[in-house]
Amino acid sequence: MPPHTLDRIVIVGGGTAGWMTAAALARFVRNGRTKIRLVESDEIGSVGVGEATIPPIVAFNSLLGIDERDFVKATQATYKLGIEFDGWLREGEAYIHPFGDYGRDVDAIKFYQLWLKQRSKEAIPPLEAFCLSAVAARKGRFAPPSPDPRSVLHTMAYAFHFDATLYAAFLRKFAEAHGVQRTEGKVVDVNLNGATGFIESVTLQSGEVVQGDLFIDCSGFRGLLIEGALETGYETWTHWLPCDRAVAVPCEANGPPIPYTRATARRAGWQWRIPLQHRIGNGHVYCSAYETDEAARETLLANLDGATTAEPRLLRFMTGRRRKFWNRNCVAIGLSGGFMEPLESTSIHLIQAAISKLIALFPDKRFNPVEASEFNRLTAMQFEQIRDFLILHYKATERQDSGFWQYVRDMDIPDTLATKIELFRSKGRIFRFEDELFGEANWVSVLLGQGIVPSAWDPMVDSLSDADLRRNTAQIYQAIQQTAEQLPRHEDFIQRFCAAEPV
């Protein structure tokens, strides 16, 4: 074994971030020497929300070797085919940002470009009608995608809604079975090396001192190690993403779970609705400069499907990111690294992405700074790309019904986003930057959904005759509608393959 191999990794925090990290490291760091220990405090508890995900979570579970249906059962999960944005452009109008592709490209020309040209000539169904995930979502149907690229079902993609507390418990079981040692205890002190500033150990309330070579800060918003001890600094994005509070409450369901998340715009923010097998998760994200806590709570409680099953909880946050995610021998993963509101369900994905990067740049005891700096560069870029995508939802609105919507409509936006919008406005072009999470289909659905319509189409489309264009569109439309109609109902699929124990 090389002499510099890490002996001890200490993870502080046992929320979603802590247990995802513990599970993944236990699965992949199997050198026979490195020990992984997780410290969490029952007294402090975890944030307990974070129940909607995006498709890469499927790969995370699969890399860990987790049986998907066991996972769905254990976490009261449902399948998610996209997000419906209700009232974001104008009150009373809704669109779906689906997972998966639109139509079928022709000679490397994107389907949505063909659609743009055709819609300029005649009335055709909305773009949504050419995406199987969106059509299946609207019809309340679900089946896993087909691996056969010739099948329409291949164009579908999915994620999950799950109970965050059950997910952490599920991963804990997995991680402990793979050798992670869990310690219940509150960290009361972080001990730094006087010469290097590296973290040497953390002291628990019990007096125990837990030493480590690498520390992962999964302590949530407080950033106990990365900020509390290392004073890394935080870059705020509240001028672009001004929502700073959420009130969350679960309620009873009044029907079968729909296979998508709903995000409904409200006077000074928006409300989420996440259907699980045993309940519905709800929350109202809002901006405290334009809405009182009491009014936000009332709005939430007035817009639920059924009776509440717990007391509403208030959460405060500040959108932005840590200036460095990896500082010395400490890596911040989860809320300790930064937060953007859950509009596109990206936080759990950012945890997963940070874990992948940490594994790809796994350090030894020498902590070569180039590894940390590459981790920081890649993570910052990913945060900023997601930030721009979220800002788009606010900026491109026609709502004027409150000071909040007027503010976001009129605010300046990052140049990176302004360029993207202009490029799309011109001929509907979108370019995915290095490894960007959201690709063309994602951007197209939100740009069009938010009322940004290109003034022309890509000239390459003109190589197709109008007759070919019409035939192609009609065939795809029919294939998608028929396929969606034949899929099982979402609730039947769950009942048949992965129903959780009733609670």
Contacts to ligand FAD by CB under 6 A? 12-18, 39-41, 44-47, 49-53, 164, 186-187, 218-220, 222, 224, 246, 248, 283, 315, 317, 334-336, 342, 345, 347-348
Q: Which two tokens stand for residue 448?
A: 């069009």
φ/ψ of residue 226, rounded to 5: -65, -35
Rounded CA separation 11/20 (Å): 11
Q: Can you say whether the dihedral through the CA atoms of 375, 386, 164, 285 is positive or negative?
A: positive
Closer to ligand FAD by CB, 72 or 448: give it. 72
By DSSP bridging, strand 35-40 and strand 8-12 are parallel
Cβ pair 420, 442 in contact under 8 A: no
Cβ(108)–Cβ(480) below 8 Å: no
The nearer residue to ligand FAD, 274 or 487, going by C-beta atoms, is 274
Instruction: Identify which of residues 344 and 388 has a Cβ nearer to ligand FAD in the complex.
Output: 344
CB nearer ligand FAD, residue 244 or residue 458: 244
Rounded Cα–Cα distance for residues 72 and 74 (Å)? 6
Minimum separation from the CB atom of position 54 to ligand FAD (A): 8
User: Tokens 């300046």 appear where?
Assistant: 412
Report, in Å, the least distance between residue 379 CB and ligand FAD: 14
Quote the least distance from Cβ 102 to ligand FAD, whole Å.
24
Q: 484 to each of 389, 475, 477, 493, how far by Cα in Å?
A: 29, 14, 11, 14
Write down the least CB distance from residue 188 to ligand FAD, Å. Answer: 7
Smallest distance from ligand FAD to CB 484, Å? 25
Residue 144 gets which letter from DSSP? P
CA–CA dist 257, 444 (Å, integer): 27
In whole angstroms, how close is the CB of 42 to ligand FAD at the nearest point? 7
Q: What three-state secondary structure class fits 41?
A: coil
Q: What are phi and psi of 284, to 5 degrees?
A: -120, 115
Cβ(140)–Cβ(256) under 8 Å?
Answer: yes
Please say which residue, 45 or 197, places its beta carbon nearer to ligand FAD: 45
**Torsional sign, CA 279, 285, 291, 294:** positive
| Catalytic residue list contains 110 | no
How many CB atoms neighbour CB 67 within 10 A?
12
Q: Select 45 or 439, whichever has its Cβ closest to ligand FAD.
A: 45
Active-site pick, 73, 80, 395, 420: 80
CB of 466 to ligand FAD, least distance (A): 44
Rounded to the nearest whole angstrom, what is the least distance from the CB of residue 123 to ligand FAD in the complex? 36
Contact 392, 442 (CB under 8 A): no
Q: Which residues contact 473 (CB under 8 A, 6 or more apart)?
A: 103, 114, 115, 118, 124, 130
| Selection from 147, 111, 150 nearest residue 131 by Cα | 111
Helices within 362-487 (DSSP H only): 369-395, 403-410, 415-427, 440-449, 466-486
Structure tokens at 101: 């592709």
Q: Would you name the residues annotated as active-site residues?
A: 80
